[in-house]
Amino acid sequence: MSEESPSNSALRSSVETRKRVEASLGARYRRENRFRFFGLLAVLVSVSFVAFFFVSIISQGYTAFTQTYIQVDVYFDPDVVSPDGSRAPDVLSQVNYSRLIKDGLGSMFPEVSGRKPKQLLNRLVSNGAIYELRDRVMAEPDIIGSRESLWFLADDEIDAWFKQYSRGDDADGAARLGDAQIGWLRQLVAQGRLEQRFNTVFFTSGDSRDPEMAGIWAAAKGSFFMLVVCMSIAFPLGVAASIYLEEFAPRNRWVDLIEVNINNLAAVPSIVFGLLGLAVFINFLSLPRSAPLVGGLVLALMTLPTIIIASRSAITAVPPSIREAALGIGASPVQAVVHHVLPLAMPGMLTGAILGIARALGETAPLLMIGMVAFIVEAPQTPLDPSSALPVQIYLWADSPERAFAERTAAAIMVLLAFLLVMNATAVWLRSKYERRW
């Protein structure tokens, strides 16, 4: 070693290094590739979970967006509707409208006789049909005595059969219908008296125990009221708290304690907030049970820590030079914050707030305690009326014995997901539009 010239030894050592590097190169590449492979695998696994979730929800739920209607010839028989000729609303609202439908179906299938077969025949049409007829007659009493072909909602089991039949699947084997019913249905199909239409009922009506009449409107309205209440309380409080903590609060043990507690509060299970809501808002302040107002208050408590944390990090992201410049040209601390820091931090705060509401929109656990997991038909008119919420509706339908609720459950999940996607997209858009980089 020592006899060689320095340049020679340098050359040798570099050759050696090169050799050693080359020898280990294959292993290094393999390690590199393995690492990338595992990363890619992790992404693929999560993507496939998401894809599986979407495929299963959509394949179960898309059929709920259409609904089968059935055409029945109805004779508004004066003997049934107003035997004494009276057209007073009190009389017309108490008429046995199911007679009209029974007679209509009977005239279409005159061969059906006997109590049990007739009962089955009447079940082709939804229970809601009699209320449709009642509303029609009360709105235009002149219809009494005339004949009309009307389209009614079909019963949920007929709906299931017709959907499978139209797709060409084995409908008869899958349905829980007797041979007689399937015979009538085939006859109706041949006469063009069965039809699938877009399911407007699903979007415009409240809950019902008859799947064909059940909709998400009341629940969506309840969710809307809750989120309005939640945001109008949590956002201003959260922003005010974060500005104070970040810009004005003295650094001492008490403030540290508050900060630690806010972070802890963000991790508290949501059912605990429900218990708190029951104790404070319902039992102590005696606000009404099942009201979106109480739901909104509970969700506000729940989202408050999330908003405070997001807002504080948005404020920290504003460079100190902005504050210093404002103070330097004579702005008061409040002016510096309100005129300069707050506008720059606002996109970040809004993003945090939207993500907070998106979480609040999907909560059911706290609502159980305050009575919002309930069967409620009428849509709430104010935040004080009893109401359920979208995730609650999903939970209740998932637990219903009637099979047709399964597809409606999946459809309601799709609607909820659509809302969440819109909210998250808004958050992304706000961030990219207003965010400033320094």
Sites for other proteins among residues 193-212 (CB under 8 A): 208-210
Sites for other proteins among residues 382-401 (CB under 8 A): 383-384, 386, 396, 398-401
- The alpha carbon of 235 is separated from its chain's Cα centroid by a whole number of angstroms, namely 22
CB of 120 to other proteins, least distance (A): 12
> Rounded CA gap, 39 and 342, in Å?
39
176 touches other proteins by CB under 8 A: yes
Instruction: Please pick, from the candidates 33, 107, 232, 261, the single residue that binds other proteins as defined by CB under 8 A.
Output: 232
DSSP string, 384-432: TS----HHHHHHHHHT-SSTTHHHHHHHHHHHHHHHHHHHHHHHHHHHH
> Rounded CA gap, 389 and 366, in Å?
12
Instruction: Please pick, from the candidates 287, 322, 327, 414, the single residue that binds other proteins as defined by CB under 8 A.
Output: 287
> Rounded CA gap, 301 and 109, in Å?
60
DSSP string, 206-240: ---SSGGG--SHHHHHHHHHHHHHHHHHHHHHHHH
Instruction: Please pick, from the candidates 180, 288, 322, 419, the single residue that binds other proteins as defined by CB under 8 A.
Output: 288
The residue (of 9 and 232) whose beta carbon lies closer to other proteins is: 232
Binding mask 345-374 for other proteins (x = CB under 8 A): -x---------------------x--x-xx
64 touches other proteins by CB under 8 A: no
The stretch near other proteins (CB under 8 A) out of 101-109, 180-188, 286-294, 419-427 is 286-294
DSSP string, 154-195: BPHHHHHHHHHHHHTS-HHHHS---HHHHHHHHHHHHTT-EE
* CA nearest neighbour of 401 among 127, 170, 226, 211: 211
> Rounded CA gap, 277 and 297, in Å?
8
The residue (of 96 and 261) whose beta carbon lies closer to other proteins is: 96
What per-residue string of b and e applies to 312-337 under the rule 16 or more CB within 10 Å gives b? bebbeebeeeebeebeeeebeeeebb
Instruction: Please pick, from the candidates 375, 422, 428, 436, the single residue that binds other proteins as defined by CB under 8 A.
Output: 375
CB of 289 to other proteins, least distance (A): 7
236 touches other proteins by CB under 8 A: yes
Number of residues that bind other proteins (CB under 8 A): 49
The residue (of 220 and 336) whose beta carbon lies closer to other proteins is: 336
420 touches other proteins by CB under 8 A: no
The residue (of 256 and 378) whose beta carbon lies closer to other proteins is: 378
300 within 8 A of 227, measured Cβ to Cβ: no
| Type of residue at 433 | K
Sites for other proteins among residues 115-144 (CB under 8 A): 127, 131
426 touches other proteins by CB under 8 A: no
Reduced to 3 states (helix: H, G, I; strand: E, B; else coil), residue 84 is coil
The residue (of 231 and 354) whose beta carbon lies closer to other proteins is: 231
CB of 300 to other proteins, least distance (A): 10
The residue (of 195 and 280) whose beta carbon lies closer to other proteins is: 280
Sites for other proteins among residues 291-350 (CB under 8 A): 291, 293, 338-339, 342-343, 346
154 within 8 A of 217, measured Cβ to Cβ: no
Instruction: Please pick, from the candidates 102, 289, 323, 431, the single residue that binds other proteins as defined by CB under 8 A.
Output: 289
212 within 8 A of 154, measured Cβ to Cβ: yes
Q: Please give the DSSP secondary-structure letter assigned to residue 62.
A: G
CB of 357 to other proteins, least distance (A): 14
The stretch near other proteins (CB under 8 A) out of 9-17, 197-205, 262-270, 378-386 is 378-386
> Rounded CA gap, 362 and 265, in Å?
19
Residue with tokens 């219908």: 177
Residues at the interface with other proteins (CB under 8 A):
127, 131, 174-176, 208-210, 229, 231-233, 235-236, 239-240, 282, 285-291, 293, 338-339, 342-343, 346, 368, 371, 373-378, 383-384, 386, 396, 398-403, 406
